[in-house]
Amino acid sequence: MSTRYSRQELFQPIGTEGQKRLLASKVVIIGAGALGTASAEMLVRAGVGSVIIADRDYIEWSNLQRQQLYTEQDVQDRLPKAVAAESRLKLVNSEVKVKGLVMDVTAQNIDELIYDASIVIDAADNFEVRMIVNDAAIKHHVPFLYGACVASYGVSFTVIPGETPCLHCLLEHLPAQGMTCDTAGIIGPAVQQVASYQVADALKYLTGHQVTPILRSFDLWTNERADIRSVLSLKKEQCPSCGLHTYPFLSYDRQAKADVLCGRNTVQIRNAAQTPPPLNEVALRLKAAGMDVLENPYLLSCQKGEFKLVLFKDGRALIHGTSDIAKARTIYHQWIG
């Protein structure tokens, strides 16, 4: 064993045997944004044997404030996040097998992505993908480390299939999913706090230690925090995901549908939620983010740069200015949540 990990091996709960376990592990990270880059760098430096990071987006100037693997040159080159992350992480630790995948994670490809993973870390930028990954992780008995942050707020929870509640069980106990970094902003310390919780639980699990199930939430700006430690009581026997094992979010019917409108440079996205977000609430968030919003009883519209979004009362949205479905989905989740 090289001296590279000597300080980590001196930490008694890990030691040399724990380090060997890490080197034999495979971690899949869903998302190469703020949480994904923070978690990936810590795990690669810790000597996890294989790290796969999947993301559909490219690097923009607004990412550099908190997404720690990227540089100004990456923005100028318009590199996909997964490509730039792989390149940087290989420079950090050449002993780790790192693979960046430029892909839109869906119910159709998630099984192949995670079936043989040791753990899956959630760094997704939208709740639809989180629920897909949650169901797939339960299906393949792979621990799923949920995490999210916006503004100065963060939340984390580790799902251990067969032991803890899953994300589906906890839906009513999670914060409202309406806020996004594009509408409410975000500060770097909130990212690092969530990533630290996720990676700490990853290291515990991968080195053979018990992970205590705690639903953690905090606000670094107001110095508030809340830990739900009786979380096992929230596990639902009739949960469609971890109780009945019907995996509803792996069904095509539960996914937001997207279609390119012929000749219009526009993508239509149909929200899969049973109750679409109220137009007035969306309008207030967008206005608070400094966007000009036009609204009537039937729809609202707003524009930012080259892209225009029109949201209808039934949850259907038109993204004008692109025929790229992946890009349209990104805009939709950034603006609508």
Domain ranges of the chain: 3-250, 256-336
Grade residue 213 by pLDDT with cuts at 50, 70 and 90. very high
Lowest mean pLDDT among 98-112, 140-154, 198-212: 98-112
Of these residues, 149, 169, 181, 239, which one is catalytic?
A: 181
Q: Which of 321, 306, 303 minimizes the C-alpha distance to 267?
A: 321
pLDDT of residue 270: 76
Question: Which residue from 47, 35, 30 is spatially nearest to 207, judged by alpha carbons?
Answer: 47
The mean per-residue pLDDT over the stretch 265-280 comes to: 78
| Mean pLDDT along residues 128-145 | 95
Tell me what pLDDT residue 184 has.
Answer: 84
pLDDT band for position 222 (50/70/90)? Answer: very high
pLDDT at residue 253 in the model: 62
- The sign one gets for the Cα dihedral 204, 22, 191, 293 is negative
Determine the pLDDT at residue 35: 97
Q: Which of 56, 51, 129 is nearest to 92 (CA)?
A: 51
Distance of CA 219 to the CA centre of its chain: 19
Measured distance CA(101)–CA(143) in Å, rounded: 21
11-20, 42-51, 252-261: segment of lowest average pLDDT: 252-261
The number of beta carbons lying within 10 Å of the beta carbon of residue 145 is 28
How many other C-beta atoms are found inside a 10 Å radius of the C-beta of residue 9? Answer: 18
Whole-number pLDDT of residue 227: 95
**Mean pLDDT throughout 116-126?**
94
Domain 256-336 has CATH 2.40.50: no
**Sorting pLDDT into bands at 50, 70 and 90, what band is 120?**
very high
Residue 308's contacts (CB-CB under 8 Å, 6 or more residues apart) are: 301, 302, 319, 320, 321
| The pair of three-digit structure tokens given for residue 240, joined into one six-digit string | 């469609």
Both tokens of residue 175? 């914060």
* Highest mean predicted confidence (pLDDT) among 210-214, 256-260, 279-283: 210-214
Tens of pLDDT, residue by residue over 17-70, are: 999 999 999 999 999 999 999 999 999 999 999 999 999 888 889 899 999 999
pLDDT for position 1: 47
Residue type, 8: Q
**How many CB atoms lie under 10 A from the CB of residue 177?**
18
pLDDT tops 60 at residue 177: no
Give Cβ neighbours of residue 289 (< 8 Å, ≥ 6 apart): 182, 183, 184
Average pLDDT across the chain, whole number:
90
pLDDT at 145: 98
How far is it, in rounded angstroms, from Cα 102 to Cα 82? Answer: 6
166 is catalytic: no
Looking at domain 3-250, what is its CATH homologous superfamily?
A: NAD(P)-binding Rossmann-like Domain (3.40.50.720)
CA 45 to CA 96: how far, in whole Å? 9
